[in-house]
Amino acid sequence: MNISIESLREKFNQIFENKNDTKIFFAPGRVNLIGEYTDFNGGYVFPVALDIGTYLLISKRNDHKVNFYSINFEDSGKIEKSTDIKKIDKNTTDWTLYPMGVIHSLYEMESVTLPHGFDALVYGNIPNSAGLSSSASVSVAFAYAFNEMYNLNIDKVRIALIAQKAEHYAGTLCGIMDQFISAMGKKDHGVLLNCDTLEYKYAPVKLENYSLIIMNSNKKRALNESKYNERRAECDKGLLGLKKELNADYLGHITENEFEKYSHLIEDNIALKRSRHVITENARVLKAFELLSNGDIKEFGKLLNDSHTSLKNDFEVSCRELDILTSAAREFDGVLGSRMTGAGFGGCAIAIVLSDREKEFTKYVGDIYTKETGIVPEFIKAVISDGVSKLSKA
């Protein structure tokens, strides 16, 4: 479903009486080229922002009321809250947990309380539960909008950190990748981000006669705290073992050679596998960045395959559906590489596909996938886009 800005404005005017100075913002979702589960381990990631994401129409109120409406959750109707930070209810189960988390984070991180309430209408065109960071795009859209509306003078990197904290508040101890790329993405570029220092570099994603295709398994995933936070704890355990000999704050600071030498210090086999994934994946990201910068997309494709194998066997966050999609993709003549992307357990995979064979590719992979799983997948050609922005004044 795609709704025009004009229709979104009309909808806003139908729902809310207060139509003064309504502003429109857009924050994108993302796909990660490579570097999975490296972010909270102080390693590197290499994501791109997409042209799908969250639209936010927002208008200041004169009182302290906060009204939300989402076109994606119309059944919930208008949801009323307040800017009063003491009244924020952590037990909220609806989507307003994210913008309310942003209000909370602004208070905690910047000592800012919003001086006025607002009316907000949200519409997201990222497929539901696809793992393309719809929640990060909601949080980034709100954090950026508050910054603009209330002249808070917060830079975009800090916006990303505030949005990340909102996600923690909602229960997932995620890293910074999704919020960072949603805030800082650049058209036709990937962002190599050092998740420890937050230093970043843009690299043009020039795939020549190839395209980046997103394959949505349509196996719904909820990035819920349990599995994700469990992986975090396993990585911490691995690090603890290695720290007996190595002076490192994060797994992402440990080289493959050091790991080879000291991996015996990790007694727990699961923690060993998780750590091996993080350390080898981190090395792959740096290699991938170099290869892409030199235009070597063939070798880049091979790294995607290696990344998937590591996520499947060592990090164990893939699933049958993602394995079927990626192996069918790799069989197809005209594919350079394929991997799951994002947190896994369902959601999406990506493939680098010869542009003039895209149609045959989607038919080939789609048929195999549906035959084996009974699910119809969705294919999206990635359009690499800019990070969060203000679209216009309504």
| Residues in 298-357 that interact with ligand GLA by CB under 6 A | 342-343
Verify binding: residue 281, ligand GLA, rule CB under 6 A: no
Give min distance, CB of 147 to ligand GLA, in A: 21
DSSP 139-201: HHHHHHHHHHHTT----HHHHHHHHHHHHHHTT----SHHHHHHHH-BTTEEEEEETTT--EE
Q: Please give the size of the binding site for ligand GLA, defined by CB under 6 A.
A: 11
| Residues in 140-159 that interact with ligand GLA by CB under 6 A | none
9/237 with CB nearer ligand GLA? 237
Residue in 174, 214, 384, 394 binding ligand GLA, rule: CB under 6 A: 174
Residue in 12, 37, 98, 123 binding ligand GLA, rule: CB under 6 A: 37
220/261 with CB nearer ligand GLA? 220
DSSP 343: T
Give me the catalytic one of 75, 89, 155, 178: 178
Residue in 177, 183, 336, 382 binding ligand GLA, rule: CB under 6 A: 177
Give min distance, CB of 94 to ligand GLA, in A: 20
Residue in 99, 142, 178, 377 binding ligand GLA, rule: CB under 6 A: 178
Task: Select from 36-44, 150-158, 200-208, 300-308 the region that touches ligand GLA (CB under 6 A).
Answer: 36-44
Give the residue from 177, 196, 222 showing the smallest Cα distance to 31. Answer: 177
Q: For this structure, is 178 an active site residue?
A: yes
**Element holding 124 (H helix, E strand):** strand 118-124
Residue in 8, 24, 39, 159 binding ligand GLA, rule: CB under 6 A: 39
Distance CA(38)–CA(34), nearest Å, equals 10
Task: Select from 4-12, 153-161, 170-178, 247-255 the region that touches ligand GLA (CB under 6 A).
Answer: 170-178
Give min distance, CB of 233 to ligand GLA, in A: 14
Residue with tokens 């927002």: 58
Q: Which residues pair with 311 in a beta bridge?
A: none
Give me the long-range contacts of 67-70 (CB less than 8 A, separation at least 24).
Answer: 67/16, 67/117, 67/118, 67/119, 67/120, 68/95, 68/96, 68/99, 68/120, 68/122, 69/15, 69/16, 69/119, 69/120, 69/121, 69/122, 70/95, 70/121, 70/122, 70/123, 70/124
Residue type (1 letter), 373: T
Task: Select from 32-40, 97-105, 235-243, 358-366 the region that touches ligand GLA (CB under 6 A).
Answer: 32-40
Verify binding: residue 175, ligand GLA, rule CB under 6 A: yes
DSSP 35-67: --S-GGGT-EEEEEEEEEEEEEEEEE-SSSEEE
Give min distance, CB of 121 to ligand GLA, in A: 25
Strands lying side by side in the sheet with 335-340: 335-340, 348-354, 210-216, 378-381
Give min distance, CB of 196 to ligand GLA, in A: 14
Give the residues lining the site for ligand GLA (CB under 6 A).
36-37, 39-40, 174-175, 177-178, 223, 342-343
